[in-house]
Amino acid sequence: MKFRLLPEWAEQDAVMLTWPHQDTDWAAILTVVEPVYVALCQAISQQQDVVIVAHNDALKNHISALLADAGVDAHRIHFVVTPCNDTWARDHGPLTCANLDNAADLKIMDFIFNGWGNKFESQLDNHINQVLVKQLANPNTAYQQSDLVLEGGGVEINEHGVLLTTSECLLNPNRNPLLSKTDIEQILKEQLGAESFLWVDHGYLAGDDTDSHIDTLVRFAPNNTLVYVKCDDENDEHFAALDAMEKQLHTFKTHQGEDYRLIALPWPKAVFNNDGDRLPATYANYLIINKTVLVPIYGDEHDSLALAQIAMAYPEHTVLGINCLPIIHQFGSLHCITMQLPRGFLAGANND
């Protein structure tokens, strides 16, 4: 029996969000951030359920009122009430694998989240998955805790079991200092069912705390397609690294030894906060749900081109932009605050 991490475009029960609150770094901008979360719930609930992790019962009640005012179907919403440090569900959420011989047979993997190399407090967030599984998961689904430090934003996988990641993140000594590249590959073969690996050795985003998560730079799409950010401004600080990344992507071969189809995403203009820090605006940080791709947009002249390029990569999906300018003020974007839960994950999903 072999389990493999499911590609993001596999059928889903729900998307998990961990809601921002007054005890997080979002406190000063909650009034502009919460409407983004409400917009996400509106969009996601048109296709599937939403799991919301709430810090306490008072926040749960507050969220329920916000969603009711926005006309979100309450039957689509499932709450998990448990304390949380922050909101980055992509990185503290579970990674779900399916049995290759029986897709309905799932295994929920719970890796260690250490705040991107102990940069931030993460003890509460690292406990969320245990509560989520206990309260909402299908009781017939296997659950396995791992000793590996790994964030969901650090890995991509396609339908052929090719795992895509960055050397800067997975080989960083602030994650698993005692493990070699070979060690990590072996663990990911065993625990995520990876068949082979593509290691991206270049590329970063200023303001990114994750040590170059792959989901900010390069994404898999079906049929051996890679969607990636391309910087065309030679005067931009990112140009050299992203140009080197693009050159490396051209050398990658599929599991059949062929070139990947490459789709470039435009480069949004630089965005800065009030302290003058550059914020990590990237169109690659999109979320695939049932029948739809939700794409972060930033009020930038390149937004429409980004939507069109992503539509080329996912022709069977509707592409919808979500204004994520408030989200990047905490140095992440749309994909970073979400985690898909595949079909069969929830005990009480409202499947269409």
Beta strands in 92-249 (DSSP E): 95-99, 102-112, 142-149, 155-157, 162-166, 196-200, 218-221, 225-229
| DSSP run (H or E) holding 305 | helix 303-313
Q: CB neighbours of 115 closer than 8 A, spacing ≥ 6?
A: 85, 121, 122, 125
Q: Tokens 């409202």, residue?
A: 350
Regions in the chain scoring below 50 on pLDDT: none
Rounded CA-CA distance 43/58 in Å is 24
Buried b vs exposed e over 102-130: b needs ≥16 C-beta within 10 Å?
eeebbbbbbbbbbbbbeeeebeebbbbbe
pTM for the model stands at: 0.97
Q: CA 72 → CA 39, 42, 89, 189, distances in Å?
A: 10, 6, 21, 40
Would you tell me which CATH number, out of the four given (3.40.50.11290, 3.30.420.40, 3.75.10.10, 3.40.50.720), belongs to the domain 3-342? 3.75.10.10
Give the distance from CA 314 to its chain's centroid.
17
Rounded CA-CA distance 153/167 in Å is 13
Write down the pLDDT at residue 352.
Answer: 59
193: tokens are 């069912």
Give the distance from CA 234 to its chain's centroid.
29
Of 120, 185, 114, 119, whose CA–CA distance to 155 is shortest?
185
* DSSP label of 314: -
Rounded CA-CA distance 230/239 in Å is 8
SS3 321: strand
Write down the pLDDT at residue 1.
Answer: 78
Write down the pLDDT at residue 15.
Answer: 98
Q: CB neighbours of 339 closer than 8 A, spacing ≥ 6?
A: 15, 16, 89, 90, 93, 94, 152
Write down the pLDDT at residue 349.
Answer: 78
Rounded CA-CA distance 215/338 in Å is 12
